């Protein structure tokens, strides 16, 4: 198993442990600092990655550039926990009640698929079905690194929410 596949396994375990630290009420409680609930952060993670396994497996072509050209930029951007970003409208979470077990299961299932893709597919392939704002098309490696960093960012957010509840 390569480094990226191992990272997805570790992120999956961290996500499970983080969600398990909330009871049902806490998972849906707005923290005193404002912002999203832990449930909304989890819903956002799910929305951001639910189509990713298909995206990574369809419409790919050989890359004509360094396949990890944007990895550092993406990781630095999303692992900077002080930076604030606005989620795209389609990725905004609802204000509905969030079922922590259901969201955990859905996200872990996707993370497992992404770990498998990271371990078995050609990560140098360019994904033509999506363009990242200001960067453009990403390789499988870049997409997977982005997704891992983005998920870690929101796990960190959920841990901060738990601290203030």
Confidence of residue 32 (pLDDT cuts 50, 70, 90): confident
pLDDT of residue 40: 98
d(CA 25, CA 1): 38
- Average of pLDDT values for 92-98? 97
Q: What total number of domains does the chain contain?
A: 1
CA distances from 98 to 47, 58, 90 (A): 13, 31, 17
Confidence of residue 45 (pLDDT cuts 50, 70, 90): very high
Domain that holds residue 109: 3-164
Residues with Cβ within 8 Å of 80's Cβ and at least 6 positions away in sequence, in order, are none
Confidence of residue 1 (pLDDT cuts 50, 70, 90): confident
CATH number, domain containing residue 103: 1.20.120.450
Confidence of residue 34 (pLDDT cuts 50, 70, 90): confident
Statement: residue 33 has pLDDT above 80: no
User: Can you name the residues that pair with 126 across neighbouring β-strands?
Assistant: 61, 139
């Amino acid at each position: 198993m390569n480094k990226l596949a191992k990272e997805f396994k570790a992120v999956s375990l961290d996500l499970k442990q983080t969600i398990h630290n909330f009871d049902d009420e806490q998972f849906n409680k707005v923290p005193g600092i404002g912002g999203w609930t832990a449930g909304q952060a989890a819903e956002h993670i799910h929305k951001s990655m639910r189509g990713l396994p298909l995206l990574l497996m369809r419409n790919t072509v050989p890359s004509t550039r360094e396949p990890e050209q944007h990895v550092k930029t993406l990781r630095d951007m999303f692992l900077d926990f002080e930076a604030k970003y606005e989620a795209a409208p389609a990725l905004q979470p609802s204000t509905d009640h969030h079922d922590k077990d259901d969201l955990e299961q859905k996200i872990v299932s996707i993370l497992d698929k992404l770990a498998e893709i990271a371990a078995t597919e050609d990560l140098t392939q360019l994904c033509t079905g999506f363009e990242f704002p200001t960067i453009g098309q990403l390789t499988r490696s870049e997409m997977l690194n982005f997704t891992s960093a983005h998920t870690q960012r929101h796990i960190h957010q959920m841990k901060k929410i738990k601290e203030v509840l």
